[in-house]
Structures are given as C-alpha cells and as structure tokens.
Amino acid sequence: MSWAHRRTVESGYDQMAEQYLATKDPEDPLALAALEDLASLLQQEATVLDLGCGAGVPVTRWLADRGFTVTGVDFSARQLELARQHASTATFIRADMTELDFGPETFDAVVAFSSIIHVPREDQPALLESIHRWLGPGGPFLANWATGEWDGEEEDWEDWGAPMRWSHYGWETNLEMLRNAGFEIVSTEARTGKGSGDDETWLWILAKKPLDK
Ligand SMILES: C[S@@+](CC[C@H](N)C(=O)[O-])C[C@H]1O[C@@H](n2cnc3c(N)ncnc32)[C@H](O)[C@@H]1O
C-alpha cells in the first residue's frame, strides 16, 4: 500500500473516529442478522478475526459478548482506543491488514465490515489469499463490499473535516476475487440500510474456505 493512501485512511479515521461512531447503530439490523448467520456456523469457543474493526461497535463487541475469542485489527490508533472501551475482552492489534502475518489456520472465522473498500484494490487479491490461508478448513469469511467500482478520494468526507480514500471493484469482480483466492460463495445479497450519511446499499457476502483446502 502506498504511504499516501495509508496516511489518508489512517489519519482520516484518527481524526473522524468519534463522528463515524456517532453514525453507528449498535443494534444495526443488517449487521446483527449477518452476525447471527455467521455465529450459527461456529462452535462456542471459536476464534474470530475482525479486520478493520474500527471502534468495535457493533461487530467486535457483539462477537466478544457472544463468547467468541476475538482479535480486532485496525491501523487507526484512535479507533482502537475506542474499540478497547467497547469490547474489553477482545485482543487488539494495530496493523495494516495487508501486512499481517498469521500462521495457516489460525482462525475459525474472519469478518471485515466496511473495511476492505479502503484497501487499494490491487492489494485486495493478495489480502483475500491471506485470509483464506489464516482460516481453518470450512471456515467462514463474512464481509460487506461495494456494489460498484470506484477508486478515489473525498476532500472533506461528510463535512467532518478530513479527507478519506476508497478503492474498490464492483459486484462481479469482488466475487471473482474471492473465488480466485479459493473461497466458495455461500450467499451474496445487496442489502440497503443506514450508512454514515444517507441509506447505503452494500453487497453482503458470506464465503467459506472449502473443507479440503
Ligand atoms: C468504515 S470503518 C468500519 C469499522 C467497523 N468495521 C465498522 O463496521 O464500524 C473502516 C475501518 O477500517 C480501517 N482500515 C481501513 N484500511 C485498513 C487497513 N489497510 N488496515 C487496517 N485497518 C484498516 C479503518 O481505520 C477504519 O477503522
């Protein structure tokens, strides 16, 4: 990831963590329904990696409260400070998710809510291969993705006083990247709900690492 790209996203979330958190619904029905689907596939003692965990609301906290052993990763120091307050039993790592180095089959599940859209899209295939490697056989990967493609920056995101950068492909390429990384697609659906500003439509994908890989 280029230094400039990382700097814009990381320092943007450092500066706007509170404003972003204020937009989050702790009971977000789309997030909670997706998490329930994920939890139904896991054992009680499962280990779950939350990539781009942000302030931990609702996802990291929900997973930790459910009794899973959760590791949250984010490169924004301020987001992690907030996440530690919201999900005190989780473990947190401050890192760029594209530079993580876990061993094979470290996690029973991986989630990434609204975060991979910030990773430079040319780095996303390698990230997905890493996620596939970190998952145990049959392990689910739940993420929401953009439905359309865009690579660009907003000078003053939501009028919150700092720039932000996004980089993503569209629906078909997202699915193709997952399949190329070795995932099976379990379900994929566009769902509309509350965003950081107006309602937003996201592509929700539940994928899994096949049992024999
Ligand atoms: C839109 S927020 C979503 C936060 C949380 N998952 C949620 O659903 O509320 C995106 C988060 O991903 C983090 N992020 C983006 N790119 C990252 C990267 N390459 N490595 C680690 N964290 C990243 C940002 O710092 C930010 O906290």
Residue 9 Cα to ligand 1 middle (Å): 8
Average pLDDT over residues 201-207: 97
For residue 163 the two structure tokens come to: 């720039």
pLDDT given at position 198: 79
Determine the angle formed by the axes of helices 124-134 and 171-180, rounding to 10 degrees. Answer: 50
The pLDDT of residue 21 is 96
The pLDDT score that the predictor gives to residue 195 is 76
Asked if pLDDT for residue 197 goes beyond 90, the answer is no
Decide if 123 contacts 181 (C-beta within 8 A): no
Mean residue pLDDT across the chain: 96
pLDDT class for 193, splitting at 50, 70, 90? confident
Question: What pLDDT was estimated at residue 196?
Answer: 74
Q: Show the CA angle centred on residue 38, arms to residues 35 and 41, nearest 5°.
A: 150
Q: What's the CA-to-centroid distance between 114 and ligand 1, angstroms?
A: 7
Question: Which tens digit of pLDDT belongs to each residue from 36-92?
Answer: 999 999 999 999 999 999 999 999 999 999 999 999 999 999 999 999 999 999 999
Predicted confidence at residue 37, as pLDDT, reads: 97
* pLDDT score at 199: 87
On the question of pLDDT at 158 being above 70, the answer is yes
Mean pLDDT calculated for residue range 27-35:
95
For residues 53 and 73, give the distance between their C-alpha atoms in angstroms, rounded to a whole number. Answer: 6
Residues facing residue 200 across a β-bridge: 193
Helix (H) or strand (E) holding 132: helix 124-134
Average pLDDT estimate for 118-127 = 97
Indicate if the pLDDT at residue 126 is higher than 90. yes
Ligand 1 contacts (CB < 6 A) are 9, 13, 24, 52-54, 59, 73-76, 79, 96-98, 113-115, 118-119
Expressed in angstroms and rounded, the spacing between residue 210 Cα and the centre of ligand 1 is 27
Structure pTM?
Answer: 0.97
Q: What is the pLDDT of residue 213?
A: 66
DSSP secondary structure code for residue 47 in this structure: E
Task: Burial-class residue 192 by CB neighbours within 10 Å (0-12, 13-18, 19+).
Answer: exposed
* Of 198, 200, 205, the residue nearest 172 (C-alpha): 205
Give the pLDDT confidence score for residue 175 in this predicted structure: 97
Q: Which of 8, 59, 100, 118 has most ligand 1 atoms within 8 Å of CB, for mutation?
A: 118
CATH number of 3-208: 3.40.50.150
Q: Which residues contact 185 (CB under 8 A, 6 or more apart)?
A: 175, 178, 179, 205, 206, 207
Q: Would you place residue 164 in the very low, low, confident or very high pLDDT band (cuts 50, 70, 90)?
A: very high
